[in-house]
Every structure is written in C-alpha cells, then in structure tokens.
Copies of this chain bind each other. A is one copy, B any other.
Amino acid sequence: MTRVDLAAVACSIARTVDVLGDAWSWLIVRDLTIGLGRFEDLRKDLGISKQILTDRLANLQQHNIIERTEYQSRPPRHEYSLTDRGRALMPILVLLTQWGDTWMSPDGPPMSFTHHACGRPGLALACSGCGEPVTADDIELRPGPGGRTGPGTALIAQALRGTGS
C-alpha cells in the first residue's frame, strides 16, 4: 500500500496504517459496517473509481479484514463483509467519527453511535482496570516487549525511555 514497507516496522500503529493508511479503506470499512456490501453499492455511495475500489477490496481481503462470499451463482455475484478482524476496527471508527464530530463538523454529527444495551449515546475510551474515562492527558506510554530500534522506530525507544515520566 505504501511505497515504504511499514508492515516490517516494529510498531503496531505502523502495521495498522500500513493496511489502513488510506482514506478509501476506512470509508469502505464504514460502509461494510453499515451494511453496504456490494461492489456497485460501494462504488455509488463513495463515488470511487472502480479500479481503486477493486484494489482496496483486494487489499483488505488479503489482510483478512473483509471476506467475499457468493450470494448467487448465475451470474456469479459476491458480497463483501467484515471478518472478526474487520469488525474489531469498529471502536476505531467510533473514535474517528467522534473526533470528526468534535473538530470538523459545523452542522452537527451526520451519524451517531449508541450503546445497544443501555440506549444512551456517547462512547469514549476508558481504563479497563478502574473504569474511569480517559483523555489524552491520562495516558502514559511505555515501551513494550516487541519494541525494536529500526526503520520507522529509529529514535522512539530512546524517547520513550527518556520521557518515561
């Protein structure tokens, strides 16, 4: 996807954006989440070029984020849907949406996410340990076991140790 091979970088963000580091992929995941699964529906909804749509779907499928299933055989027609791995992106989608709502949407949110069980809107990052909601200031970064110094993470390890406040 990117010219530079980010999949090899010892950073989960780099690996994630190596697969999902373009705008269309996120919008495709959005549409699949909502329930649009057919090629033409995606194309019409997004206004995306067929070539690009084909490429993106192939890439997402290759990374096991979506799967293609035949829903009729003559003529062969396929539908795209999210895999478990793809559905696991939904919380990210929620936060991307909320960030856009907060900082980029003058007209109010075009779409909202709601907790199914209690029906109330508003989802946010929280600490799994104590349950408290968490904002940027509450988050501490630490180097993990898989960290390595290399391309894409040449200086990070030092910086993490240095600012390990």
Residues in B whose Cβ lies below 8 Å from that of A141: 33-34, 111-114
Interchain CB contact under 8 A, B88 and A115: no
Contact with B along A140-154 (1 / 0, CB 8 A): 111111111001111
- State which size class the interface on A falls in: 35 or more
Interchain CB contact under 8 A, B26 and A99: no
Cα(A3)–Cα(B19), bound, Å: 20
Interchain CB contact under 8 A, A126 and B130: no
Known: A12-B96, A92-B96. A114 touches B140 (CB 8 A): yes
- Nearest CB of B to A104, in Å: 4
The one of B1, B7, B27, B147 in contact with A110, judged by C-beta atoms closer than 8 angstroms, is: B147
Cα(A129)–Cα(B116), bound, Å: 11
A47 part of interface (Cβ distance < 8 Å): yes
The one of B96, B155, B156 in contact with A16, judged by C-beta atoms closer than 8 angstroms, is: B96
Residues in B whose Cβ lies below 8 Å from that of A155: 36, 41, 44-45
A85 part of interface (Cβ distance < 8 Å): yes
Interchain CB contact under 8 A, B99 and A115: no
Interchain CB contact under 8 A, A30 and B6: no
Known: A36-B155, A123-B134, A154-B44. A113 touches B140 (CB 8 A): yes
